[in-house]
Chains A and B, each alone.
Chain A
Amino acid sequence: MEIYILLGFVLLLSIFLGLELIAKVPSTLHTPLMSGANAISGIALVGALMLSSAGQMQDILAFGAILFASINVFGGYLVTNRMLSMFKKK
């Protein structure tokens, strides 16, 4: 139980930190920020790798989770990078 309280604390602090960090972003960067954040949500890949393997059903679920999280991670970072490389000041 203590661990949940501790991690719940981490969760709350991170949300407040996130709100502070992003409160004043210029609108030029709204799309790259959203896309970059979207890539970060692919952190679910770490969760997918932590799953256990017991039987075929679990293997299928783990494979699916890894597959889709990987699409999110690779696609998200690449698209963000492509987008940012277009933002240039002349």
Chain B
Amino acid sequence: MENLVNIQVIQNIVYIVSSVMFILGIKMLGKEATAVKGNYLSALAMFSAVGITCLSLEIDLKIILAGVLLGGLIGSLIAIKVKMTAIPEMVALFNGFGGLATFLIAWSQFNEPNNSMLQHVLIMLTIYIGGITFSGSLIAYGKLSEKLKLGKGSLITNIFISFFYLSMPALIYVIAEPSISQFIPQAPSYFSIFLVLTLVAGIGFVMPIGGGDMPVVISLLNSLSGIAAAFAGLLLLNNVLIVAGSLVGASGLILTIIMAKAMNRTITNILFVGYASSSQSTSSEEQGEVKPITSDDAYLILENASSVLVVPGYGMAVAQAQHVVREMGELLEENGTEVKYGIHPVAGRMPGHMNVLLAEANVSYDLLAEPDDVNPSMDTIDVAIVIGANDVVNPSATEEEGSPIYGMPIIEVHNAKTVFVLKRSMSSGFAGVQNPLFFRENTRMLFGDAKESIGQIVAEFKD
């Protein structure tokens, strides 16, 4: 008996040390200079917490070894093999697995005898959040990897959405079930139905949300997986689960808020309304002639430019153009041009998506600037090159009050002396809003695949 108490004391001390390491790790992860070390520290915290838990195990060691080794193998293989451009969907997938783990933990606790009322509530909440995180993340994975094309408005999507709304009263019912069965002993248990319903609800939660809103959804699902882990910690009375889970929940929440702010929309608007129902029928009158340009002419202008701002968007990721973009940037610098990259927080499909792509292409991170850094001096920029970005450079956001995206902070490339817009066609952006930038006096459209167009400019520079 005394021995057992000692083990528990040691475990709790190690849990506290791990919690401190998690806190320091995540703090270091937030600064460029210490980020790598922060990740190691957090991994060390994980290792110690897991290791010390193994001092008192009830489960058969074979099951544990099989689970950890197989899981470690699968996780490592995916992490090493994945292409850097597929990072958004990988993060979504891993996140979903974390949610699934908490879902299964809570389910297992439900099967234990003598759960108190409070434990019962925690079990249901953990199952609900974990389940939604899991299936929601899988849908996000499908959308990000473009395997899943279903969106808002289709019948199937609407059916799943109905199940999502149905899942909330179902959650309240299963929470109240022990009290109900005290009065009506014959009341059937809907627990197994609830398990399935949470998973279906997660699908309905994420499915209607459009691709451009994915940075918000990914951050939110990330937050939810942390909250699910924290609830599981309350359930199992384990402090390191609570601390680590809450940290993740908080960091995900902050990213969610940053992303929503960068779109000038509320989180509920993004999740439950979408762009479609905001006021349409605006713009369209500001049509006009677009002025196309060839790569040759673009090269001649760039050769004489003294400052260039590159503004990438999701189109750069699709075209896989980040490497040629870096090459062009280097050639421009050799030519004496000052090159900067203007990165909008919601450009791409996850928070910081463009930063990762450009880092992969070896662009030094001190060349990457945020909208607030580049907007004030925009009129000194000779050429702004917009590569596959649309809504984040749409001047309607600052000028046209009726526009659905009015108020969204943008990179104000229209104030630059010349703007090149690289685009495959004249289709409007994710928000479905026409972009007056394309018709401006100082805008030149360079139609075609971004990788090819820039490749041609690079080739001209080399000649």
- Of the residues A19, A44, A69, contact of B254 by C-beta under 8 Å: A19
Contact status A52-B59, CB under 8 Å = yes
What does DSSP make chain B's interface, helix, strand, loop or mixed? Answer: helix
Does B271 belong to the interface (CB within 8 Å)?
Answer: no
Q: With a CB–CB cut-off of 8 A, which chain A residues contact B30?
A: 21-22, 24-25, 29, 33
Contact status A89-B84, CB under 8 Å = no
Tell me how far the C-beta of A44 lies from the nearest C-beta in chain B, rounded to whole angstroms: 4
Contact status B63-A39, CB under 8 Å = no
B residues 83-106 near A (Cβ < 8 Å) are 84, 87, 90-91, 94-95, 97-98, 100-102, 104-105
Q: Which of B49-57, B175-183, B385-393 contacts A (4 or more CB under 8 A)?
A: B49-57
Does B398 belong to the interface (CB within 8 Å)?
Answer: no
Contact status B255-A36, CB under 8 Å = no
Contact status B118-A72, CB under 8 Å = no
**Contact pattern, A 11-29, Cβ under 8 Å of B = 1, otherwise 0:** 1001111110111111111
Does B64 belong to the interface (CB within 8 Å)?
Answer: yes
Contact status A3-B39, CB under 8 Å = no
| Nearest CB in chain B to that of A78: its residue | B79
Number of interface residues of B (CB under 8 A): 108
| Nearest CB in chain B to that of A44: its residue | B101
B residues 341-376 near A (Cβ < 8 Å) are 343, 345, 350-353, 355-356, 359-360, 362, 364-366, 368, 370
Number of CB contacts from chain A to chain B under 8 A: 375
- Of the residues B27, B76, B91, B241, contact of A47 by C-beta under 8 Å: B241
Tell me how far the C-beta of A36 lies from the nearest C-beta in chain B, rounded to whole angstroms: 5
Contact status B104-A22, CB under 8 Å = no
Give the interface size class of chain A. 35 or more
Q: Give Cα A25–Cα B218 distance, bound, in whole angstroms.
A: 17
**Contact pattern, B 43-84, Cβ under 8 Å of A = 1, otherwise 0:** 100100110011001111001101110111011101110101
Q: Give Cα A56–Cα B85 distance, bound, in whole angstroms.
A: 41
Q: Which of B158-166, B231-239, B307-315, B413-421 contacts A (4 or more CB under 8 A)?
A: B231-239
Interface core residue of B118, B249, B364 (most chain A CB under 10 Å): B249
| Nearest CB in chain A to that of B22: its residue | A40
A residues 55-90 near B (Cβ < 8 Å) are 57-59, 61-90
Contact (A17, B23) CB under 8 Å given A28-B368, A33-B251, A38-B98: yes
Does B242 belong to the interface (CB within 8 Å)?
Answer: yes
Interface core residue of A34, A57, A69 (most chain B CB under 10 Å): A34
- Of the residues A25, A72, A78, contact of B101 by C-beta under 8 Å: A72
Contact status A47-B236, CB under 8 Å = yes
Q: Give Cα A22–Cα B246 distance, bound, in whole angstroms.
A: 12
Q: Give Cα A22–Cα B26 distance, bound, in whole angstroms.
A: 8
Q: With a CB–CB cut-off of 8 A, which chain A residues contact B355?
A: 27-31, 87
Q: With a CB–CB cut-off of 8 A, which chain A residues contact B71?
A: 66-71, 73-74
Q: Give Cα A78–Cα B229 distance, bound, in whole angstroms.
A: 20
Tell me how far the C-beta of A22 lies from the nearest C-beta in chain B, rounded to whole angstroms: 5
Contact status B32-A87, CB under 8 Å = yes
11 examples of A-B residue contacts, CB within 8 angstroms: A4-B118, A7-B239, A17-B23, A37-B251, A40-B244, A52-B58, A61-B105, A61-B111, A74-B72, A77-B42, A82-B80
- In order of increasing CB-CB distance, the 9 nearest A-B pairs are A70-B71, A18-B250, A30-B352, A66-B67, A75-B75, A14-B246, A74-B75, A78-B79, A30-B351
Query: Residues on A close to B: CB < 8 A?
Result: 1, 3-4, 7-8, 10-11, 14-19, 21-54, 57-59, 61-90
